[in-house]
Amino acid sequence: MRRSLSNILLLCLLGFFGSPHLYGAEAAAASDSDSFVVYKHPLCFCCKKWIRHLEHGGLTTGVGYRLDMSEVKGQWGVPQGMESCHTAVWHGKYVFEGHVPARYIWQFLADPPQDSFGLSVPGMPAGSPGMYDGKTFEPYNIYLLLRGGDYRFYARVENPQDQ
């Protein structure tokens, strides 16, 4: 019953916002044509800014709205402590968790390190794409997600021009 009410609420919210984006199984099917499916909660607005950052960086996106983001993160193997507000999946193969800059996504996709399955910017750092307000920059780390539930340091973003 609770899940049914959640789904009804989600459909109402999507209708209210007039979203042209995909949700549910439709978003998963879109991974064949879109470079990324970004799974996000329908009320998270920093994700929209991050999606614009990706598109400005030459990446194509579709959106899958989810009320239970922890389920999405578990499905894709995002390690505890590496979570953020949204999870982007590239062709069902690689995961980009949180506000990862497009520049580093391209770098990763050009030469994915062995035994890795993506990148993460945990939390919501003030300096990251989608969070940066143009004034206050907070340096942050990007982590490499490794198969088996581990992760390691990948890069540090020291200033807004590095994004």
Query: What is the structure's pLDDT at 35?
Result: 80
Confidence class of residue 163 from pLDDT cuts 50, 70 and 90?
confident
CA 130 to chain centre: 11
What is the pLDDT averaged over residues 48-72? 91
Tokens 């062709």 sit at which residue? 91
**With 70 as the cut, is the pLDDT of residue 17 above it?**
no
**With 70 as the cut, is the pLDDT of residue 66 above it?**
yes
Is 82 a domain residue? yes
Confidence class of residue 110 from pLDDT cuts 50, 70 and 90?
very high
38: domain CATH number? 3.40.30
Average pLDDT, the chain: 82
Query: What is the structure's pLDDT at 5?
Result: 40
Is 10 a domain residue? no
Range of the domain at 37: 22-162
Q: How many domains does the chain have?
A: 1
**With 80 as the cut, is the pLDDT of residue 21 above it?**
no
